[in-house]
Amino acid sequence: MVVLGLVIGFPLLGFLVLLAFGKRMGDPGAGWFGTIAVASSFVAAIATWIVLLTKHGSNRTQVLHLFRWFQAGGLRVDVSFRADPLSIVMILFVTGVSAVIHLYSIGYMKRDARFHQFFIYLNLFVFSMLVLVTANNLPLTFLGWEGVGACSYWLISFWFERPTAASAGKKAFIINRIGDMGFLLGTFLVFFNLHSVSYSKVLPEAHQLSSGTAEAIALLFFLAAAGKSAQLPLFTWLLDAMEGPTPVSALIHAATMVTAGVYLMARLSPILALAHAASMTIAIIGVITAFVAAMAATSQTDIKKIVAFSTVSQLGYMMLGIGTGAYIAAIFLMVTHAFYKALIFLSSGSVIHSLDSEQSIRRMGALAKLMPITAWTMIIAWLSIAGVPPFSGFFSKGSVLEDAFGRNELLWVVGVVTALLTAYYMGRLVFVVFYGNARWQEVTHGHDPHESPRIMTIPLIVLAVAAATAGLLNLPYSGLRFLHNWLAPVFGSALVTYHLSSSEKILLPATDAVVALLGIFLAWRLWRRHSERKALEPAVLFKGWYIDTFYDRTFARGGTALAKFSDRVVDPTIVDGAVGGIAWLFRWVGGLGKRVQSGLVRSYLLIMVAGIVVLLAYVLLSAAR
């Protein structure tokens, strides 16, 4: 499995070389180097996949053991990587999407003062993400988990000269810590009960866990996943993360890193299969997140905020799939989502790029004629995410909703309503940005925006093709369910299969398609000629249900108030008081002793006499006894 080492090694090599020589390579040399490193990794990933294809059944789980990382008592942690159907899917789409986005970044980040640094972070991110998805034990996964978190932090606050970017990075970091706590506690619980942290041992023996323990582990890891994958109530950081450069939003905060939570849950499916209550909780939180974020997305005016809420919403769908036991559907949605969401982001980035960093959709409009490639790729992405057949979203979202229906009709209803909203808000974006009146004269100072350079449009086209056709990966017809057949051995018995009647098998996809078209029709009716409709953009949705405001009021300001209180009261009185009090005590005692040191010989003599009296008394008493 040396080729797996190459998959991980190329981005690491790229990172190290860029770290050492990136500045000398400059713009665009460093970008090309980083892109080639990731593209090589993608090629190696394909090779790994082919190697696995030649094997059968359980042989498809290959472990690349490098060295022992650390050992403490019974805890043994190796640096070992795992290639199995699940991680291969992750590797393929992570390296593939990363390579495309690297290419796009060369154009997007052109003339940025820290061009080479951007690619250092990107390569480190890809490396960390690959470690995360291929690690064969929980601590190594956590290493990758933290690595992508750190890269996310660096890249969100890449333009740290802007205070908003700097604080957005901090926010992402802090909120992710809450999730990391869940990851660590979950790892401890796994080790405590199964005496190992290696997937090779933990996953086959998961059935030994009592159901209560499994529930606890599942919920703790879901906390981690909720932090990383931006589920309620920890999703607010993802919206601020849009302060980063758009390729970062596309790569990290849409396509790859945020799906790490979903991947983690899929990886731990044997434990999740034992935890029925936790699974239901995950499904409910997922579907509520999907709905809440979709509602909020309908009222945003910042193009990247719309897409960010859309990402949260889609991640909610994936969690719904995880919660209902439809792991393959969730992974399928993750892959297709990576394509179309990256595409949406890159198209948005193309628009933003041509409008001199303008992000408000109020100042866009009528761009379709000026930026045809961007507009058409965006429309493909929109049809995909909306779930219009035969684009990829139709199949992936459809399979998630099918299983949700099998589990509980209510979950399905909410999911379908969210699908309607999805088609609607994306339609709103497309109509307001690319059609209607041109409102960008102020921004561009008269001259017309122009299509982005080829280095940015080629990735758009590649992703558009992928977004349109990714449904082929897993068509809902026996014999064509490639992804299902590929992944099914990984999940085994954990995979829940719902048996739907033949009429339901036709009606459910039909409903999806009708709902998607209805959403598009609504968007067309309402937003074709308008760029602003106060009645449809209530403040509560614009503010994202005030969740962020609530956090700010309670935790952020509460914490600040507590800190100020500590600074004003606790520190001077209690801490300084204790320190100063001790000093004062000793000064006081010293003062008492000082009075003894009067310098008068006769006082000393008096004390001596007192000592003689006491000593004699002691001698007499002890002799008398």
- Rule CB under 8 A: which residues touch another protein? 593-603, 605-606, 609-610, 612-613, 616-617, 620, 623
> How many residues would you count in the chain?
625
- Helix H, strand E, coil C: the string for 257-285 is HHHHHHHHHHHCHHHHHHCHHHHHHHHHH
Measured from the CB of residue 606, what is the shortest distance to another protein in angstroms? 6
Tokens standing for residue 220: 């703790």
Strand bridging mode 62-72 / 75-83: antiparallel
Question: Closer to another protein at the Cβ: 482 or 604?
Answer: 604
Measured from the CB of residue 582, what is the shortest distance to another protein in angstroms? 21
Helix axes 327-354, 372-386, angle to 10 degrees: 160
Q: 82 pairs with which residues across the strands?
A: 63
Summary count for the chain: helices (H), strands (E): 26, 2
Measured from the CB of residue 617, what is the shortest distance to another protein in angstroms? 6
Question: Closer to another protein at the Cβ: 581 or 590?
Answer: 590
What distance in Å separates the CA atoms of residue 237 and residue 170, rounded to the nearest whole number?
A: 9
3-state secondary structure of 235: coil
Question: Closer to another protein at the Cβ: 437 or 597?
Answer: 597
Measured from the CB of residue 604, what is the shortest distance to another protein in angstroms? 9
Measured from the CB of residue 596, what is the shortest distance to another protein in angstroms? 7
Coarse DSSP helix, strand, coil percentages of the chain, rounded to the nearest 5 percent: 80, 5, 20
Measured from the CB of residue 583, what is the shortest distance to another protein in angstroms? 18
Question: Closer to another protein at the Cβ: 575 or 607?
Answer: 607
Question: Closer to another protein at the Cβ: 472 or 617?
Answer: 617
Rg of the chain taking only CA atoms, in angstroms: 30
What distance in Å separates the CA atoms of residue 420 and residue 291, rounded to the nearest whole number?
A: 10
CB 348 within 8 A of CB 422: no
Nearest one of 24, 31, 14 to 111, comparing CA atoms: 31
Question: Closer to another protein at the Cβ: 507 or 620?
Answer: 620
Question: Closer to another protein at the Cβ: 50 or 589?
Answer: 589
What distance in Å separates the CA atoms of residue 81 and residue 65, rounded to the nearest whole number?
A: 6
Question: Closer to another protein at the Cβ: 472 or 608?
Answer: 608
What distance in Å separates the CA atoms of residue 201 and residue 120, rounded to the nearest whole number?
A: 35
Measured from the CB of residue 609, what is the shortest distance to another protein in angstroms? 4
Measured from the CB of residue 161, what is the shortest distance to another protein in angstroms? 57
